[in-house]
Amino acid sequence: MIELPTLDNQRIKKPSWLKVKLPIGENYRNVRKLVDEYKLHTICESGSCPNMGECWGEGTATFMILGNTCTRSCSFCAVATGRNSEYDRDEPMRVAEAIKLMNVKHAVITSVNRDGLPDKGAYVWAETIRKVKELSPGTTMETLIPDFISHWDLLYQVIDEKPEVVSHNMETIKRLYRKVRPQAKYERSLEQIQKTKDRGRRTKSGVMLGLGETKEEVLEVMQDLVNNGCDVITLGQYLQPTKMHLAVERFVTPDEFDFYKEEGQKMGFNFVESGPLVRSSYHAERHI
């Protein structure tokens, strides 16, 4: 495989396989209207997801709770960094009402980190799951949750509401953690996945590629996830959101993503979603 060179202060030209369609269509407009009307945040927008047009066009969106300002400063993420003193207790109901109006069959919910709150946002998380189940009992859920800084009682407060899938992203390989996720810990995230699995929930995690990792390091994080009870893994291409974020070291080819899918199946994952445009919530309905 040929590795593309990086140039200082210059982005590598995107290859053809990373081109996406512009968001259009009635379903897209309906989702846009609901998101605006209910004053909701979505990781689709805040995270500059390349699949927003496709997913919104199919009437689905990944809701982001606890505001749109994160207390952490991960060097890959487009979500704004800062501190909020409190949270919106009406947000769980607004999210649940929007999910009901959209007639969502499988809802994906994520959040920013709220490390400054005493409960790290666990109350809003648990209440959101409860309200969605109350208003849409036939809707299944995936919850993409933060690490709660090893406060496992707060983790249990959320996952004991029994969402069908509990996801927590590793994001990158062990060697790059301090560079990519300076306020997170590789071992802590693995421990959270294991504790979630021990609690009887279906577990999921995601990894970005193209930040300078080797094939061996990708296989290592995949094996670590399997060893810690991870059922589903997603692997996708990292895309630099702004010049202030980490640069793309290389664009991983579709063939290499296929290789990781095959290896992941051999390792024992129940489901492997691997491709250049894959994100943690992409085709999430398949992962249940």
Q: pTM value?
A: 0.83
Rounded CA-CA distance 30/177 in Å is 39
Handedness of CA 117, 131, 232, 34 (dihedral sign): negative
Residue 166 β-bridge partners = 143, 203
Query: What integer pLDDT is reported at residue 20 of this predicted model?
Result: 57
Q: Closest Cα partner for 128 from 155, 158, 104, 150?
A: 158
Per residue in 250-280, pLDDT (tens digit) is: 999 999 999 999 999 999 999 999 999 898 7
How much is the CA Rg of the chain, to the nearest whole Å?
A: 18
Is residue 75 within 8 Å of 32, Cβ to Cβ? no
Q: What is the pLDDT of residues 116-127, one digit of tens each?
A: 899 999 999 999
Mind listing the pLDDT tens digit for each residue in 91-143? 999 999 988 888 878 888 999 889 989 999 999 999 999 999 999 999 999 99
User: Which residue in 142, 193, 205, 202 sits closest to 169, CA to CA?
Assistant: 205
Whether residue 76 has pLDDT greater than 70: yes
Q: Report the C-alpha gap between 213 and 176 in whole angstroms.
A: 8
27-52: pLDDT as tens digits: 556 666 666 665 655 544 444 455 55
* Residue 81 pLDDT exceeds 90: no
- What pLDDT does residue 54 have? 53
Q: Decide if 203 contacts 231 (C-beta within 8 A).
A: yes
pLDDT at 7: 36
The whole-number pLDDT of residue 2 equals 35
Domains in the chain, CATH or no CATH each = 16-283 (3.20.20.70)
| Span 166-209, pLDDT tens digits | 999 999 999 999 999 988 999 999 999 999 999 999 999 999 99
Q: Which amino acid is at 191?
A: E
**How far apart are the C-alpha atoms of 74 and 179, rounded to whole Å?**
8
* Exposure b/e, 29-49, CB count within 10 A at least 16 = b: eebeebbeebebbbbbbbbeb
Task: Please report the pLDDT score of residue 4 as a whole number.
Answer: 38
> What band does 233 get if pLDDT is binned at 50, 70 and 90?
very high
241-251 pLDDT per residue, tens: 888 888 999 99
Q: Are 25 and 3 in contact (CB under 8 A)?
A: no
The dihedral region occupied by 268, where left means phi > 0, alpha psi between -120 and 50, and beta the remainder, is left
